[in-house]
Amino acid sequence: MAALFNFEIYTPYRLFYNGQAQSVTLQLSDGEICVYANHCVMTALALPCMLRIKDADGELRTAFISDGLFQVKEFKYVLIVNSAEWPDEIDKDLALAAVEQAEETLKDPRTKLEAHKAKEKLRRAKCRLKILEEVNK
């Protein structure tokens, strides 16, 4: 059996996940990472992405996470994000509307900040839709 570690995910509104895991895969500011038990201590910025948790039973669980902070300590791994959603919590219609709004804004942004926010909104919405596609295969 694979070595396990304690993994917790917090949002401003709830404890999203609290359990043991064999591995966790997510996107960090410098690329994708997959961590296992006994990983070196680290702190990094997490980007909006498809999070994959291989739980204690070997089951692969997928969720959407927004940006946040990922911290690996000796006996506990913690992810603090603005939002996290299991596939059944993702609103497909809302994600499709967000894609449409972001693409419309990107056609003629008024400022660089507006363009940046629209790109981030588009990234989050497309990630949510990708998760729904993967789950519904």
CATH, residue 52? 2.60.15.10
Question: Is residue 116 domain-shared with residue 56, that is, in the same domain?
Answer: no
Question: Is residue 73 domain-shared with residue 112, that is, in the same domain?
Answer: no
Q: Which residues of the chain have pLDDT under 70?
A: 1
Q: Which domain holds residue 107?
A: 90-135
Q: What is the pLDDT of residue 86?
A: 97
Q: What is the pLDDT of residue 74?
A: 82
Question: Is residue 28 domain-shared with residue 65, that is, in the same domain?
Answer: yes
Question: Is residue 61 domain-shared with residue 127, that is, in the same domain?
Answer: no
Question: Is residue 82 domain-shared with residue 49, that is, in the same domain?
Answer: yes
Reported pTM: 0.90
Q: Is 80 exposed, middle or buried (0-12, 13-18, 19+ CB in 10 A)?
A: middle
Q: What is the pLDDT of residue 75?
A: 80
Q: How many domains does the chain have?
A: 2
Q: What are phi and psi of 87, to 5 degrees?
A: -55, -40
Per-residue pLDDT of 94-125, as tens digits, reads: 999 999 999 999 999 999 999 999 999 999 99
